[in-house]
Amino acid sequence: MGTTARRTDTFSGSSGKAEESMLESGRNLEWIVCAAPDDPEARRAALGELMDAYGRDVWNYAFSITRKWDMADDITQEVFLKAFRHLHNFRHVASVRTWLLTITRNTAIDFMRSAFLRRVTLVDRPSERGQLRSAEQEVIERMAVNETWKQGLSLPRKYREVLILFAHYQLTLKEMAEILGVTEGTVKSRLFHARRKMMSLKEKASDG
Amino acid sequence: MDDRFDRELKEELARGPLTRDGFDERLRRRIEERLDSPRRGPRRILLSAAVYAAAGMLAVAAVWSGVWRFVWTERYTADELAFPVREQVAVSGREYYVIPDRQAFADAAIRSAFLIGLRRGAPNPAGARAVRGYRTMPLPVGGGSWCIIR
């Protein structure tokens, strides 16, 4: 069984040792699943390794999509439970990280859709929109690591996602297209617009 | 759109979005605890719904066929059943016995019965509330005699 050390670096998705750790974890996972697909203990161990290596990535991506802390927790839980149940379905065409990020995105979209339906069906009268900031905006204002993250999280979802996959996860065009379920051309186009928006936001911020 | 801007973006977004890690030990434990809880997937829910629906339909069909057979084999119409019990005795000409109270009924050797409830209502000229009378008729299964509880 693999002996991937629990990641202690604060730079999730960064290159170097962490990246090597992820790759090693992926190989360990493959070994575990291939060796004992019906062994619950081996599956648990594989899940533990997955959480060590990709827990932060999954949570950060879920938070980037939803901008809600609680929902990111729920999505992360669901993603790892799905991964646990479908370990045997993992195709080695994609990397483990791409596989998990794809599950994260699909789960997040399902969660947001059901949250929207709950809001639409259970609230009988729309609440008035005032100048008060929402709870998620408060969290981002208070806890975002820097201005660039605040600006990135303020973008519309389709630009936000592609920007974060590109700059934070540093994925290739092909991987981004795979996760987003669009063509590489669409990824390029979205990335172009996302960059322009970020430039515009930075210019506004520097002008005061 | 230069490479310098991309490089800056990558450097500034390299860390997670928040200063606090969202994926912590608490969440990890929560996930591990959930591994042991049984899962109710959509297929299982659909299967359960189908089983419940089929069981419900069977139960309705069983009750309906039982009532229908009983009513029509004994040849009592709704009008007859709506008569006072003593009149029914006269109409049907069959043998009845009356158990005077609930205790006696409980002591009787009847272990299963078909219970019919009869209600009779009439307008009350003296007051606003209608006059209503109720009777219950447990009919024993298995060829026993009829009985009436007062």
Query: What is the ipTM score, two decimals?
Result: 0.72
- Which of B54, B75, B96 is the endpoint of a domain? B75
B131 and B111 in a common domain:
yes
pTM flag (> 0.90): no
Q: Are the Cβ atoms of A81 and B18 closer than 8 angstroms? A: no
The domain defined by A142-208 carries CATH number 1.10.10.10? yes
Q: Are the Cβ atoms of B22 and A76 closer than 8 angstroms? A: yes
Residue A201, pLDDT above cutoff 60: yes
Q: How far is CA A146 from CA A52, A171, A202, in A?
A: 25, 22, 12
**pLDDT category of residue B3 using cuts at 50, 70 and 90:** confident
Q: Are the Cβ atoms of A63 and B20 closer than 8 angstroms? A: no
Mean pLDDT is lowest, of A66-75, B104-113, B141-150, for B141-150
d(C-alpha A34, C-alpha A36), whole Å: 6
Beta bridge partners of B99: B149
The residue range of the domain holding B122 is 77-149
Radius of gyration of chain A (CA): 19
Average pLDDT for A43-54: 87
Radius of gyration of chain B (CA): 35
Q: Which of residues 111-150 of B touch A (CB under 8 A)?
A: none
Does the CB of B42 have a partner CB in chain A at under 8 Å? no
Q: Are the Cβ atoms of B9 and A148 closer than 8 angstroms? A: yes
Q: Are the Cβ atoms of A195 and B16 closer than 8 angstroms? A: no
- Best of A76, A86, A145 to mutate (most B CBs within 10 Å, chain B): A145
Q: Residue B48 domain-assigned?
A: yes
Backbone angle region of A16, left / alpha / beta, with phi > 0 → left and psi within -120 to 50 → alpha:
left
pLDDT of residue A4: 40
Q: Residue B61 domain-assigned?
A: yes
Q: Are the Cβ atoms of B23 and A81 closer than 8 angstroms? A: no
Give the up-direction half-sphere exposure of residue A74: CA atoms within 13 A in the CB hemisphere.
14
Q: Residue B19 domain-assigned?
A: no
- Hey, what long-range contacts does A109-116 have (CB within 8 A, 24 or more apart)? A109/A65, A111/A66, A111/A71, A111/A74, A111/A75, A111/A78, A112/A65, A112/A66, A112/A71, A115/A71
Q: Copy the structure tokens of residue B12.
A: 């500034």
B50 and B102 in a common domain:
no
B117 and B68 in a common domain:
no
B125 and B62 in a common domain:
no
CA distance A91 to chain B (A): 22
pLDDT of residue B102: 58
Q: Residue B81 domain-assigned?
A: yes
Average pLDDT for B56-80: 65
Chain A contact set for B13 (CB, 8 A): 148-149, 152, 163-164, 167-168
Q: Are the Cβ atoms of A58 and B16 closer than 8 angstroms? A: no
Diameter over CA atoms, chain A = 60
Q: In this prediction, what percent of chain A has a pLDDT beyond 70? A: 71
- Which of B50, B75, B100 is the endpoint of a domain? B75
Number of domains within chain B:
2
The domain defined by A13-122 carries CATH number 1.10.1740.10? yes
CA distance A18 to chain B (A): 12
Residue type, B22: G
Residue B18, pLDDT above cutoff 80: yes
Q: How far is CA A60 from CA A78, A82, A99, B23, in A?
A: 14, 18, 15, 8
Average pLDDT for B24-53: 77
Does the CB of A73 have a partner CB in chain B at under 8 Å? yes
CA B45, distance to chain mean position in Å, is 20
B69 and B111 in a common domain:
no
Beta bridge partners of B120: B133
Pick the residue with more confidence: B84 or B37?
Answer: B37
Of A85, A143, A195, the CB nearest to B5: A195
Q: Copy the structure tokens of residue A59.
A: 């949570």
